[in-house]
C-alpha cells in the first residue's frame, strides 16, 4: 500500500470486531505517529489509554463502536500562545499518523469528539491547560464504509500574486 492509497483509503470506522489489538502492534502504530511534524521537536502529545470503567463513565452513545482500544490524545501547553497553537496542530498530525498506521495494518480508527465536552474532560481528568485533540477508538473494522465524494481541491486553492 502506498502512502497515497492509505490516505485515500482510510475511513472513520463505525463498528469494530471484538478482536484485541496486540500490545506490540499498538505500540508500533503509536511510535509511527510520533513522526508527526512538531516545531522544535516539542513532542507535545500525551496519550491516555481509556479503560473499561472510565469508558462506561463517558457514556458515548455508540460505545466507540465496540473498539477494543480507546485513547484520548492531548496537547501539552506551550510557553506561549503561538507554541500552544503549534502543539495542537502537531497532535492533530499525530492523530492522523496513528489512524494511517492502523489502517496500513488492516485496522481502523474512529475519531470522537467526546473529550471536548465538560463531562468528558471531567471523567478523563483533563487538566485545564491541556487541549483534548481527539478520543480515538482503534480496532479491526466490521465494515469499511465507502468514501463520500469530496469537492475538487482546485475549488479550495487561491493563487496569490
Q: Is the pLDDT of residue 8 over 90?
A: no
Q: Measure Cα distances from 44 to 12, 37, 118, 161 in Å.
A: 24, 11, 22, 35
Q: Give pLDDT, residue 80.
A: 95
- Asked if residues 134 and 38 have their Cβ atoms less than 8 Å apart, the reply is no
Q: Is the pLDDT of residue 116 over 90?
A: no
Domain residue limits, the chain: 21-142
The pTM of this model reads 0.93
Over residues 71-110, the pLDDT tens digits come to 999 999 999 999 999 999 999 999 999 999 999 999 999 9
Q: Tell which wins on pLDDT, 10 or 125.
A: 125
Q: What SS3 state is found at 21?
A: coil
Q: Tell which wins on pLDDT, 72 or 5.
A: 72
Low-confidence winner among 5-9, 60-64, 89-93, 152-156 (lowest mean pLDDT): 5-9
Second-level CATH architecture of 21-142:
3-Layer(aba) Sandwich (3.40)
Q: Measure Cα distances from 93 to 20, 46, 101, 120 in Å.
A: 25, 13, 12, 22
What's the rounded Cα separation, in Å, for the pair 138 and 150? 24
Amino acid at each position: 500500500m502506498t502512502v497515497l492509497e492509505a490516505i485515500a483509503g482510510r475511513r472513520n470506522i463505525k463498528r469494530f470486531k471484538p478482536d484485541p489489538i496486540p500490545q506490540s502492534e499498538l505500540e508500533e502504530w503509536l511510535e509511527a505517529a510520533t513522526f508527526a511534524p512538531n516545531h522544535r521537536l516539542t513532542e507535545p502529545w500525551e496519550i491516555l489509554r481509556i479503560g473499561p470503567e472510565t469508558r462506561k463513565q463517558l457514556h458515548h452513545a455508540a460505545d466507540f463502536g465496540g473498539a477494543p482500544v480507546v485513547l484520548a490524545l492531548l496537547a501539552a501547553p506551550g510557553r506561549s500562545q503561538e507554541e500552544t497553537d503549534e502543539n495542537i496542530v502537531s497532535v492533530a498530525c499525530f492523530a492522523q499518523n496513528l489512524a494511517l498506521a492502523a489502517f496500513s495494518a488492516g485496522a481502523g480508527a474512529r475519531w470522537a469528539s467526546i473529550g471536548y465536552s465538560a463531562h468528558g474532560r471531567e471523567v478523563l481528568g483533563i487538566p485545564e491547560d491541556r487541549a483534548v485533540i481527539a478520543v480515538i477508538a482503534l480496532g479491526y473494522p466490521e465494515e469499511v464504509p465507502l468514501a463520500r465524494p469530496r469537492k475538487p481541491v482546485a475549488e479550495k486553492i487561491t493563487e496569490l500574486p
